[in-house]
Copies of this chain bind each other. A is one copy, B any other.
Amino acid sequence: MTDTEQPIVTAGVVVIGDEILSGRTRDTNSGTIAAFLTEHGIDLREVRVVPDDEPMIVEAVRALSGRYTYVFTCGGIGPTHDDITADAVAKAFEVGIDHDPRVVAILKKRYENDSLTEARMRMARIPAGADLIDNPVSGAPGFRLGNVHVLAGVPKIMQAMLDSVAAMIVGGAIVHSVTIECPVGEGLVGGPLAELQRQHPDVSIGSYPVFNDRPAGTRLVVRSRDAVALQAAAEAVAALVAHLTIEHAPKG
């Protein structure tokens, strides 16, 4: 699947929060992280959304940490009692957790003496051995423990931490894509498209119905790390679409 010797770099995401699972808050962070990973040539293989429940966070972090190159979590690192991600990640790695002097220093600078409440000090709880992830928006940092990157849940802060993470990870070969709009529906393009996928095993061909009030065509996306294979497959798909467009044009 690749024309380089770069290994495939993979990732998993754990989104943490009761408010996502109740439908009250829509998760946008996993989509933001997905786009970030694609830009860095990293294959996002799995996302899990779990509640503010320590055993479930521990299980998800362990499962994904063992399976993928990188893991990203978002949510649950604020100052309130329902923010339990740091403790859960410490438990997942079986390391201790305590107030981290590096973070205490950041918080002391940000909050004047009596405004550095016990609740805010919770944000200084960092698992032993973790690296900090800079938070230029609101101060309290995220952290990286092993291959797990622990980010905030507020989208603006999550995005800022992700910018900080960019310098901490090694990406892979970029997956290039060609998108071809097909004016006929999936039911007509599906058969010959499956044959093209068989003929071009080094690319992945995705088919997405364009569906507003009624089916209005198909968006075909050809993806590959191999630029030569991508070009050949995209040309074959474009030729198929041209053929189908003529075949199914209104006759008069």
Chain A residues within CB distance 8 Å of chain B: 15, 18-28, 30-38, 43-52, 56, 78-82, 111, 115, 117-120, 122, 138, 154, 156-157, 175, 186-191, 193-194, 197, 204-209, 211, 214-215, 221, 223
Contact = CB atoms under 8 A, between A and B. Distances in A.
6 contacts: A20-B31, A21-B46, A27-B30, A27-B31, A119-B190, A119-B194
Given A191-B119, A206-B18, A23 B35 contact: yes
Contact of A207 (B47, B82, B191): B82
Nearest to A13: B49
A111 B187 CA distance: 10
Point out which of A37, A79, A175 has the most chain B C-beta atoms below 10 A from its C-beta.
A79
B21 A34 contact: yes
A22 B79 CA distance: 32
Contacts of A175: 22
B81 A211 contact: no
A216 to B, nearest CB: 11
Contacts of A188: 115, 117, 119
A47 B46 contact: no
Contacts of A193: 80-81
Contacts of A31: 20, 23, 26-27
B81 A187 contact: no
A96 to B, nearest CB: 21
Contact of A194 (B24, B33, B80, B205): B80
A126 B168 CA distance: 46
A204 B80 CA distance: 13
Nearest to A179: B24
